[in-house]
């Protein structure tokens, strides 16, 4: 921490501001027997990341466990359950 007059601060304001920001060391300015400080605001530490949920807490899904060639013929739903024609005809 070093002291200076307001006149010398005025001459080097931008350089001193950069110096305070990079070093973190404050600059003391004297004016009429009183002291002022040019101080950089402390950088707040980043919040720690939220704890990720455990994989055990995820819902179980139904999986197909078999030959990948059979997937082309795997039935997810029955075409007789398809009700779109009924729904469309009801809207008339």
What is the span of the domain harbouring residue 76?
62-90
Residue 56 lies in a domain: no
Question: Is 52 contained in some domain?
Answer: no
Task: Determine the pLDDT at residue 42.
Answer: 83
- 74 compared with 23, residue with greater pLDDT: 23
On whether residue 53 sits in a domain, the answer given is: no
**8 part of a folded domain:** yes
Nearest to 4, CA basis, from 25, 62, 24, 21: 25
Q: What is the pLDDT of residues 24-61, one digit of tens each?
A: 899 888 888 888 899 998 877 776 666 666 666 777 77
Nearest in space to 76 (alpha carbons), one of 61, 64, 60:
64
Of 27-31, 44-48, 80-84, 87-91, the range with the highest mean pLDDT is: 27-31
Asked, for residue 86, whether it belongs to a domain, the answer is yes
Q: How far apart are CA 88 and CA 76, in angstroms?
A: 23
> Is 15 inside any structural domain?
yes
Flag whether 57 is in a domain: no
Rounded-to-10 torsion of CA 65, 71, 75, 77? 80
Give pLDDT, residue 39. Answer: 92
- In angstroms, the CA 37 to CA 25 distance is 10
pTM of the predicted protein model: 0.43
Counting the structural domains of the chain, the total is 2
CATH of the domain at 14: 3.40.1620
- Between CA 2 and CA 48 the distance in angstroms is 36
């Amino acid at each position: 921490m070093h002291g200076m007059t307001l006149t010398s601060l005025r001459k080097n304001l931008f350089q001193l501001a950069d110096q305070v920001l990079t070093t973190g060391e404050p600059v003391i300015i004297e004016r009429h027997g009183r002291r002022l400080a040019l101080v950089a605001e402390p950088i707040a530490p980043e919040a720690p990341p939220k704890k990720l949920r455990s994989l055990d807490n995820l819902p179980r899904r139904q999986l197909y466990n078999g030959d990948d060639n059979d997937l082309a013929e795997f039935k997810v739903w029955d075409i007789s359950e398809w009700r779109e024609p009924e729904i469309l005809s009801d809207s008339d």
